[in-house]
A = this chain, B = another copy of it.
Amino acid sequence: MVQSTKSLAERVANAEPSAVARAISRIEDGADSATELMKQIYQMSRGGLVIGITGAPGAGKSSLVDKLALLFRKRGERVGIVAVDPSSPFSGGAILGDRIRMQTLGLDENVFIRSMATRGNLGGLSRATVDAVAILDAAGYSKIIVETVGVGQDEVEIVKAADVSVVVLVPGMGDDIQAIKAGIMEIGDIFVINKSDREGAYATEKELQALLSLAERSDDWDPPIVKTIATENTGIGDLAEAIDRFQQTQRRTDIGNERRHAIARWRIIELLREQLLSSVLNSNDCASALERLADEVATKRRDPYSAVEELLKASPNR
């Protein structure tokens, strides 16, 4: 093929959308197959801003992300969107969101949208997501928005790995909101109350202010609360302004370094976890042993702990 005269990494750096898509597919297949590609990609890092957006289901994150992307586009920036959808492996739930998006953003060649989902046993969703972000960065997207559904552990980690983390709430989410708020309080650099024309918006804002006044941050950033109605494009400018302001503050302080160290540490561990597991499971001996051992555990002839001991004995790499 003519294309093979240029490496995939070079074509990514050239901002060819098809190369970006192919590179992301490769990193989704597994860390092993992507190692050489990613080593090259990381050398092409261009310093795009990574914006993590999370919040409970029903908070209107997708609309918010779309409107924010449109605003960045009007400024002339290229925008990458990575939608993390952990529920997809079961029935392809990501597709719905993609289809809706195509109507507003999909025809703009300076917007790249990709949904990520776990595949198979080895997991690696968070590793694949940060790799996808690195690919978009290498391709010159200056704003990279990572959107996560839900409040699971993986999603929290993914949002923590962003340069700036935005937590989206809506008025009147019910009793569990307290617990969620407690859990995400420490990861939010900016809080958005979306659907802020709804009943209970004022109460939610007061409650959030009270919670924020109790939270301890290691930097002197005071997380702002931005009120939006994403579907009406209200408050999106305020959100963009808050993001810019946080980015400027981070550049001035040492706290950014601590945060980058923590993120790097987590990324190394995630990658290590995935590679160790695949080094065992990708051998033929182990693959067949796994099925036999799973049968024995399922029928209570064996416990999972001794099954793992036997699996490790069967592994050629150990």
Which residues of A approach B to under 8 Å, CB–CB? 31, 35, 38-39, 41-43, 45, 56-63, 85-88, 90-94, 96-97, 118, 121, 123, 125, 149-156, 170, 173-180, 182-187, 215, 257, 260-269, 271-273, 275-277, 280-281, 290-291, 293-300, 303-308, 311-312, 317-318
Q: Which residues of B contact A41 (CB under 8 A)?
A: 303
Q: A57-B151, A58-B177, A177-B57 are in contact. Are A86 and B268 (CB under 8 A)?
A: no
Q: Which residues of B contact A257 (CB under 8 A)?
A: 298
Q: How many copies of the chain does the oligomer comprise?
A: 2
Q: Are the CB atoms of B149 and A151 closer together than 8 Å?
A: yes
Q: Are the CB atoms of B268 and A297 closer together than 8 Å?
A: yes
Q: Are the CB atoms of B269 and A281 closer together than 8 Å?
A: yes
The interface centre, meaning the residue of A97, A187, A276, A307 with most chain B CB atoms within 10 A of its CB, is A276
Q: Can you name the residue of chain B whose Cβ is closest to the Cβ of A130?
A: B304
Q: Are the CB atoms of B153 and A154 closer together than 8 Å?
A: yes
Q: Are the CB atoms of B121 and A90 closer together than 8 Å?
A: no
Interface of A is mostly: helix
Q: A57-B56, A90-B183, A178-B96 are in contact. Are A304 and B271 (CB under 8 A)?
A: yes
12 CB contacts below 8 A, A to B, read A42-B304, A43-B303, A45-B300, A90-B186, A93-B179, A152-B153, A261-B295, A261-B298, A264-B297, A265-B294, A269-B281, A273-B276
Bound Cα distance A45, B94 (Å): 39
Q: Which residues of B contact A299 (CB under 8 A)?
A: 260
Q: A85-B179, A90-B187 are in contact. Are A268 and B311 (CB under 8 A)?
A: yes
